[in-house]
Amino acid sequence: MRGDDRQQSSMFSYVAPEARVPKDHPLRAIRSMTDQVLRELSPQFGKIYAPVGRPSIPPEQLLRALLLQALYTVRSERLLMEELSYNLLFRWFVGLNMDEPVWDATVFSKNRERLLDGDIAQAFFDRVRKLAAASQLLSDEHFTVDGTLIEAWAGQKSFKKKGTPPSSPGGSGNPTVDFHGEKRTNATHASTTDPDARLYRKTRGSETKLGYLGHVLMENRNGLVMEAEVTIASGYAERDAAVSMIDAIPGENRITLGGDKAYDTRDFVADLRHLNVTPHVAQNTSKRSSAIDSRTTRHAGYAESQKKRKRVEEIFGWLKTVGLMRKTRHRGVRRVKWVFTFAAAVYNLVRIRNLTAEATA
């Protein structure tokens, strides 16, 4: 018998959002880990909110919503609020009841700034890393470092000579600018849209873009992010960030650090040896001699590090294609670092969920 196509909507629903989410949905494990991290962060939340006044968006719900934005590649806060208004899965994950109103996108963005001031992204990242350590998923001996270009939220037309007066508001919103043949450098020019962005070329032969450099330190056992950093783009930033991140690894035992040819410099290798770190960087012998020799490369561990280091590209691939980090939507190195660190924490949550699911299968 054919059913009737009835369009009358029900006034009441007796099914909770929890019951509509499949028992084996991947978000269930991620929600459980996220709730554990947020409970540990509760005392830190209390320090950044006033004890009196009008209640704001709960920071736990704010972070769960931002986590969904990274997981599902929601390109803006306004679209995220739209999804939260009708997506039952999103409502369940964030912790909203069926009839609770969704926040205004501007209010949501304003409340996110409070978390920026409290450096909540780094605290969230640190506790996610502790979850991985508690599950014995981290290596404490072998690591890999790499950097990537994060395109800034600024166009080439905004890269003007320093001291140039701002254009009059009465002109065209998108004027034609011909800068071909003009020598433009970071020393003489700056972006009027994002002054922290720098003109940078990541590889030889590629176009120069306004951007930042994002850096990650990966452990080699399961490819989890140990440290995340964002710096002003420069020729020395990758190596300086690598030294800073590897120095943050606790312990005094000798460890190894893999990297590509960009890290094969004598100063960087000397800095690593001073920190009791064995440099397993790729040798750069193009019209020069390498900073490491057969005393390092003859060991089987060096070849293994060179195989494992390529896994770091999976992290950058996820961050750029899923985590919205190919082109940042924020301005200023501080905000970009906050978002990059939080996205790295979300990547770790996904990896932990996948690794634990494989172990129990």
pLDDT value, residue 31: 97
- The DSSP result for 94-119, as a single string, is HT--TTPPPPPHHHHHHHHHHHHHTT
Other CB atoms within 10 Å distance of the CB of residue 312: 24
Given phi > 0 = left and psi -120 to 50 = alpha, else beta, which region is 141?
alpha
Largest CA distance in the chain: 81
pLDDT value, residue 65: 97
Residues of the chain with pLDDT under 70: 1-4, 7-13, 166-173, 361
The position carrying tokens 């012998």 is: 285
Buried b (16+ CB within 10 A) or exposed e, 252-273: eeebbbbbbebbbbeebbebbe
| 153 three-class SS | coil
Buried b (16+ CB within 10 A) or exposed e, 85-117: eeeebbbbbbebeeeeebbeeeebeebbebbbe
pLDDT value, residue 10: 64
CA 295 remoteness from chain centre: 36
Rounded to whole angstroms, the Cα distance separating 43 from 47 reads: 7
pLDDT value, residue 157: 87
Q: Which domains does the chain have, with CATH numbers?
A: 17-118 (no CATH), 139-152+211-337 (3.30.420)
Spell out the alpha helix ranges (H) of the chain.
17-20, 26-48, 59-71, 77-86, 88-94, 105-117, 120-134, 237-247, 266-274, 294-297, 300-308, 312-321, 333-360
Which positions ≥6 away from 280 have C-beta within 8 Å? 256, 257, 258, 259, 296, 301, 302, 305, 306, 309
Tell me phi and psi for residue 256, to 5 degrees. Answer: -115, 150
Tokens of 202: 């990541």
Q: Which whole-number Å values give the CA distances from 291 to 229, 235, 263, 271, in the listed order?
A: 25, 18, 9, 12
C-alpha dihedral sign at 88, 92, 94, 98: positive
